[in-house]
Amino acid sequence: MIMIMSLVIVLKIGVLGRNLLDEHREWWSRVGAWLTIVNLSWIVLFAFAMYSAYVFALADTAIKQAIVASGGLGWALWTGAGVLLGKDSGSAGGIRAALKNHRLRRWIVDMAPFVFIVGLLAVVSTAAFWLVIGVSPVGRTYEILNQPHWSGIGLTKHWLLAGPGLLLCAFLLSCRVDVNEFSMHHFYKNRLVRCYLGASREGTSVGALRSPDPFTGLDPADDVKLAELRVEPGECDPQIKKVIKDKQERNSPYVGPLPIINVALNLVTGGDLAWQERKAQSFSFTPIFSGYEYRVPSRQRPGRFANQGFRSSFLYGYPPFGIGLGTAVAISGAAASPNMGYHSSPALGFLMTVFNARLGWWMGNPRDKFNWLRSTPRRGLLYLVNELLGFTSDDTHFVNLSDGGHFENLGVYELVRRRCRYIVACDAEQDSALSFNGLGNAIRKCRLDLGTEITVRATRIHPLTDTQYSSVHTVIGDIRYPDGQMGTLVYLKASLTGDEPTDVLEYGTRQHAFPHQSTADQFFDESQFESYRKLGVHVAKTTFALPFADEETPAYTRLDRLSDYWYPANAAIEDHFSDHATQYDELLERVRKDPNLALIDAAFFGEAVPPGNQRDPMFLGVALLDLMQRIFIDLDLEHASDHPHNKGWMAIFRQWRKLDAVKRAWTATQPNYGRRFQWFVEHL
């Protein structure tokens, strides 16, 4: 019947010829294509349903049965290997070690979902044949070949009604079985809340009130509403403002920074052709507003869908107080989801949905004028099918949210959108090749979507030649916003430089993948956990604990100094500094000795030209400062001023700093030196 319909369409298009408008021809062509797809799919499913049993029926000898059994074992092993390798392409323990060929590993991962689906259909259809016919197919070639299908059942009408009856049951169950509640989300969320929010209550005035369940260790009071994490309630409903104020008075008022929790809104079937690669949109939860920036397409959907995608966090999803912090964080970390932004794969999505490996969440579309108040669809069957087949978009009443890394993994995108002057990005993703995939993805999306250019030389973190150690953990980048304003990106990368604590270096020697071990490893032992923790502390301290900065130094001053401190090194300066310094000393001495050259003293001292009898002390002060700068660089006094071997030089420099000649020379020539040497001299 479908083939007849397809033939009629072809004849219609051919007969009408030039009289058929192009848009009509396109419409009918797409109908014909979909009919062909449905027809081929039906043929494949029919073949599995009708003939899978015959494969088992041919196993009428021990050898043939062994072949069939080995095929089943191979199917299970291939599926298992694909799941293990698919969790993380960088590492999968012994399996990856055994499969040295990268192309073979990639092929196994790509084909595993299809192998699983084929095997699953074969097993299900054979089991159905066995149940319906009442004959075990294994080794029964004669009985199977001579057993008419559906004969002897005597309940043909009842079986014909089974299909609609099962659909009705599925629909009724979907009205009660929530598509969100019956997933792995709460398993993940409850443990995040217990691990972090619950632990943060210990040792505080609130901690004394914590009463966890003796069996699960969970306390519902551990979680807080995201809308509470704001310094002031702001403009909102008076009743809600009163509740927030009461909670702040009863507990400690929130005084921290504004949290921005990034998630990905999956657009696997989005209509924007320019976004066919990313398949996702940035979605954020904040204590004030939650939602996403809607890009208005050429054809707007009329009716209940608005052209703005942000709603008040007090009401969005969970009125009247909004979404819980634990739920928002769990969505933000929902890495295992059938729809995963630019990682999405239809076959893998089918596989994960079948096994209910779903950490994502369906929430009301902020653009929907009614459903934005709902946290879950009332009838989730349609949305489960959309998740199964990868039909997620932002034109439905509910949207599918998952890990923010499925769109942009560093959280830089939303900070750039807010025109932040300083952005600190901590990159701890698994990146053994140091390809900086997360950073490159963030830079690309900020340029395309926000018109903001980020310039950073991350390759400085690459390991030095013939060693596993990098020269730095941190690099500084420039952010140029569309209006010309400038910002600073401080990029920290999980890396080893060789100056880490001894135990961290020992662990890195023993575990060569450290600090880029597979994220599929969710069971850290004590040494592994402590090594990562201490490495993070070390990276942060070496980045922000700047020399000669104290606790009273304002944060913005520290960040300004970071630009000088971590600015990319210049090999030409390092190679030629000594020669240039020698030439400068010779020129300085020549001008000092020749009274006829006193006219060019201003070239050295600016407006503070010394009088005749003060020229020699002034030049001597500059010479002392020049020697001080050389030793400062050669001995790395910026970091090693407390080293026992450098204490003598430090004592000499402190004496020089007290000399009137040095003071006058420093006042006159201070701008001629780099800011890092200026800070050193000022703190002598």
Q: Is the pLDDT of residue 500 over 60?
A: yes
pLDDT over threshold 70, residue 316: yes
Q: pTM of the entire structure? A: 0.76
Per-residue pLDDT, averaged over 481-510, amounts to: 94
Mean pLDDT for the stretch of residues 342-368: 87
Residues 6+ apart with CB under 8 A from 258: 229, 230, 286, 287, 288
- Token reading at 274: 């320019």
Rounded distance between C-alpha atoms, residue 95 and residue 105, angstroms: 9
Q: Which residue, 365, 360, 342, is CA-closest to 294? A: 365
Q: Which residue has the higher pLDDT, 262 or 343?
A: 262
**Is the separation of the CB atoms in 28 and 12 below 8 Å?**
yes
Q: Tell me which of 251-255, 283-287, 437-441, 451-455 is least confident.
A: 251-255
pLDDT (0 to 100) of residue 298:
46
Band (357; pLDDT cuts 50, 70, 90) = confident
Residue 529 has pLDDT above 50, yes or no: yes
Cis amide prior to 320 (ω within 30 degrees) = yes
Predicted pLDDT at 149 = 52
Domain boundaries, the chain: 2-153, 224-295+302-407, 450-565, 571-682
Position 343 scores a pLDDT of 82
The answer on pLDDT for 203 being more than 60 is no
- Residue 92, pLDDT > 50, answer no
> Span 395-416, mean pLDDT?
95
- pLDDT at position 349, please? 83
Give me the pLDDT at residue 442, please: 96
User: Partners of 463 in the beta sheet?
Assistant: 470
What does the angle CA 221 – CA 226 – CA 229 come to, to the nearest 5 degrees? Answer: 95
pLDDT confidence band for 326 (50 / 70 / 90): very high
**What number is the average pLDDT over the span 532-553?**
84
Which single residue is written with the structure tokens 């040792």? 203
Are the beta carbons of 621 and 661 closer than 8 angstroms? yes
Q: What is the 8-class DSSP label of residue 227?
A: G
pLDDT at 239: 63
**What integer best gives the mean pLDDT of the chain?**
82
Of the ranges 153-157, 306-310, 378-382, 665-669, which one carries the lowest mean pLDDT score? 153-157
Report, in angstroms and rounded to the nearest whole number, the Rg of the chain calculated over CA atoms: 34
DSSP-based three-state secondary structure for 163: helix
The whole-number pLDDT of residue 121 equals 83
Tell whether the model's pLDDT for residue 332 goes beyond 90: yes
CA neighbor of 15 nearest in space, from 3, 27, 30, 25:
25
Residue 207, pLDDT above cutoff 50 = no
Given this model, what pLDDT does residue 150 score?
47
- The C-alpha atoms of residue 428 and residue 575 are separated, in whole angstroms, by 34
Q: What is the pLDDT of residue 90?
A: 41
Greater model confidence, 236 or 389: 389
3-state secondary structure of 164: helix
More confident residue, 446 or 595: 446
Phi-psi region of 549 (alpha: psi -120 to 50; beta: other; left: phi over 0): beta
Q: Give 464's Cβ-side CA count (13 Å radius).
A: 9
Show Cβ contacts of residue 261 under 8 Å, excluding neighbours closer than 6 positions.
Answer: 226, 284, 285, 286, 328, 329, 331, 332, 404
What is the structure's pLDDT at 537? 96
pLDDT score of 94: 47
Q: 3-class secondary structure for 438-464?
A: HHHHHHHHHHHHHCCEEEECHHHHCEC
Phi, psi of 246 (to 5 degrees): -60, -40
pLDDT bracket for residue 163 (50, 70, 90):
confident
CB 472 within 8 A of CB 490: no
Q: How confident is the model over 432-438, as a mean pLDDT?
A: 91
Q: Which residues pair with 486 in a beta bridge?
A: 480
Q: For a pLDDT cut of 70, what percent of the chain falls above it? A: 83
Check pLDDT > 80 for residue 673: yes
Average pLDDT over residues 40-56: 80
ω into 610 cis (within 30 of 0)? no
Q: Could you tell me which residue, 473 or 52, shows the higher pLDDT?
A: 473
Residue-level pLDDT at 386:
92
Structure tokens at 628: 């001080």
Give Cα 238 distance to the centre of its chain: 37
Q: Which of 303-307, 509-513, 660-664 is the least confident region?
A: 303-307
Q: What pLDDT was estimated at residue 630? A: 87
Over residues 421-431, mean pLDDT: 92
pLDDT, tens digit (0-9, with 9 covering 90-100), for 107-136: 777 788 788 888 888 888 877 777 766 656
Give the span between the Cα atoms of 487 and 323, in whole angstroms.
Answer: 32
